[in-house]
Amino acid sequence: MPTDALGRLQLTRAEIAEALEALRLHPPSSRRPQPDFPRSALLRAALAPNGRLVLGGAAATLLLLRPGLLLALTRYWRVASWLPVARILLNRYVVRRNETHE
């Protein structure tokens, strides 16, 4: 019985090597070129036109699974008033600096 298993293993390895060689010699042309950014399908869905729905659904799911996060968010609600200031500072010092180097 062990020799039969070894024979099947060798046959399977040969088939896999043959399939890989065929893919290397003739790559499938049906592949669509993937954009450089974003690479992940999840981030592409979040940045799509209905991305706010995706992110809202993810946030709602997270709050349903971990209700303690809602308490933590209410504790840090005071920080939310500083978000416009942080956005201005990021735009002024980080975004513009990266645009000039490209």
The pLDDT of residue 100: 53
- Looking at per-residue pLDDT, the higher value among 9 and 1 belongs to 9
Residue 14 has pLDDT above 90, yes or no: yes
79: which 2 tokens? 């920080």
Instruction: Check if the beta carbon of residue 32 is closer than 8 Å to that of residue 41.
Output: no
Among left, alpha and beta (phi > 0; psi -120 to 50; other), residue 40 is beta
**Sequence spans of domains, the chain:** 37-64, 67-102
> Any idea which residue has 């992940």 for tokens?
40
Cα–Cα distances in angstroms (integers) from residue 31 to residues 12, 17, 34, in the given order: 27, 22, 9
Asked whether the whole model's pTM tops 0.85, one would answer: no
The tokens describing 4, both together, are: 């039969």
Compute the average pLDDT of residues 19-41. 73
- Check whether 101 has a pLDDT greater than 80: no
